[in-house]
Amino acid sequence: MRADVLVVGLGFAGSTAARALADAGFRVHAIDRRPHLGGNAFDKPDAHGVTIHPYGPHIFHTNSTRIVQFLSRFTAWRPYEHRVLAKIGEQYLPMPINRTTINRMYGLNLDEKGVSVFLDSVREPRARIVTSEDLLLSTVGRDLCRTFFSGYTRKHWGLELSELSASVAARVPVRTSDDDRYFTDSFQAMPADGYTTMFGRMIEHPLISYETGVDFDGRSDTTAYRQVIFTGPIDSYFQHRLGKLPYRSVEFRHEHHASTPFLQAVGTINFPNDFEYTRVTEFKHLTGQMHPGSSLVREIPRGEGEPFYPIPREENHELYKRYRMLASAHPNVTFVGRLAEYRYYDMDQVVAAALAAAQRIAGRLR
């Protein structure tokens, strides 16, 4: 029997929507062009048996109990709070910037109040906060902005802070306390058996069939389905008819060190000013795996290659809006996910968007 819904993409967006629709009684067929489940959150053991994230480090964090409840049907969790150090000259300083960062960087001994006063003395208030540069100059001032953000951003995006929406730098808070966690969400944990296992359980349902290694090329016949859910890049669905939406790509350079259980003090080291890579992540911190060796990934941002990041700036959003207009003429196709909605979504936000989309679709198909 033909499925009611075709889902293109088996990452967080597609897998969540597939499962929610199957739970609602609809028959779902799902495909992904990659040979595996999980989209960019896919994980697997490398050749040495260390669990790695081939598409870069994925740390789960959310403030939504609803999202935790949904995912907890498919996985147990291992509590994990991510920590990041930025290498500045010969020093490793906490990132996000906190009391320790400022005291070590400037050789000070300020308390929390002192750090607030310090930040007040260096910030350059702006009447309007439009770009990431506006945001950073008005919160941490020129020196901290240049030291921690300008070089990293130039490498990561190939753009200046002044060319990116304020929302990009707003992802990273500034603290006057000693809190050195990268995220402060109420729930921070990793799937106990990994992301791929969690995805496998999510799509294991009598009403879901799926295939990996199958491409959907926009000319694929969808007439047999009542609804299509597309989770790839929205411009690719329309064969780039209105022009290419810009994405940033990353080369993930993986390495293994035998007989060295840990090379880094924390999960990730950021390199804002030196080298072509932005950060290095050591997976065993994230997964808690015991192993005599260690595997790391270096992220080298690229202009060309597989799309990983939508680029948040006004002109790109305008082009995306024109694709949305096109999409609105195709009510039987739903676009959901980070590339399909051209939004700098974290994993939990994708789950939320996919659950909402599935609910809308179920209501319509009923």
> Looking at the annotation, which residues are catalytic?
171, 175, 248, 279, 299, 344, 346
Single-letter code of the amino acid located at 223: T
The per-residue DSSP string of 264-297 comes to -SSSEEE-SSSSS-SEEEEHHHHH----SSEEEE
Q: Which x/- pattern, by CB under 6 A, does the window 272-291 give for ligand UDP?
A: x-------------------
* Nearest alpha-carbon partner for 172 in 39, 82, 253: 82
Report the partner that residue 153 touches, choosing among ligand FAD, ligand UDP, none (CB closer than 5 to 8 A by kind).
Answer: ligand UDP
Q: Under rule CB under 6 A, which residues in 295-334 are in contact with ligand UDP?
A: none
Q: Compute the C-alpha angle 186/188/190, nearest 5°.
A: 155
- Binder of ligand UDP out of 75, 147, 153, 231 (CB under 6 A): 153
- Is 156 a binder of ligand UDP (CB under 6 A)? yes
Least Å from the CB of residue 34 to ligand FAD: 4
Give the nearer residue to ligand UDP in terms of CB position, either 86 or 355: 86
Q: In the sheet where 91-95 sits, what is the strand order?
A: 91-95, 84-88, 268-270, 279-282, 294-302, 247-257, 309-310
Single-letter code of the amino acid located at 227: Q
Q: Under rule CB under 6 A, which residues in 75-134 are in contact with ligand UDP?
A: 86, 95
Report the partner that residue 39 touches, choosing among ligand FAD, ligand UDP, none (CB closer than 5 to 8 A by kind).
Answer: ligand FAD
Least Å from the CB of residue 297 to ligand UDP: 12
CA pair distance 278, 55, nearest whole angstrom? 15
Give the nearer residue to ligand FAD in terms of CB position, either 134 or 348: 348
Report the partner that residue 231 touches, choosing among ligand FAD, ligand UDP, none (CB closer than 5 to 8 A by kind).
Answer: ligand FAD
Least Å from the CB of residue 85 to ligand UDP: 10
Give the nearer residue to ligand UDP in terms of CB position, either 149 or 199: 149
Residue the block writes with tokens 């994990």: 80
Strand runs labelled E in the chain? 5-8, 28-32, 44-45, 51-52, 61-62, 77-79, 84-88, 91-95, 187-191, 208-212, 227-230, 247-257, 268-270, 279-282, 294-302, 309-310, 333-335
Q: Which helix (H) or strand (E) holds 31?
A: strand 28-32
- For residue 358, give every residue at least 6 positions away whose Cβ sits within 8 Å of its Cβ, in sequence order, or none: 16, 17, 20, 21, 24
Report the partner that residue 43 touches, choosing among ligand UDP, ligand FAD, none (CB closer than 5 to 8 A by kind).
Answer: none
Report the partner that residue 12 touches, choosing among ligand FAD, ligand UDP, none (CB closer than 5 to 8 A by kind).
Answer: ligand FAD
CA pair distance 198, 144, nearest whole angstrom? 40
Q: Which x/- pattern, by CB under 6 A, does the window 166-205 give for ligand UDP?
A: --xx-xx---------------------------------
Give the three-class secondary structure for 202. helix
Give the nearer residue to ligand FAD in terms of CB position, either 6 or 105: 6
Residue the block writes with tokens 């009447």: 127
Give the nearer residue to ligand UDP in terms of CB position, either 132 or 231: 132
CA pair distance 100, 105, nearest whole angstrom? 8
Single-letter code of the amino acid located at 29: H
Q: Which residues bind ligand FAD (CB under 6 A)?
A: 8-14, 31-34, 39-41, 56-59, 215-216, 231-232, 250, 308, 337-339, 345-348, 350
Report the partner that residue 301 touches, choosing among ligand UDP, ligand FAD, none (CB closer than 5 to 8 A by kind).
Answer: none
The binding site for ligand UDP (CB under 6 A) comprises 86, 95, 148-149, 152-153, 156, 168-169, 171-172, 270, 272
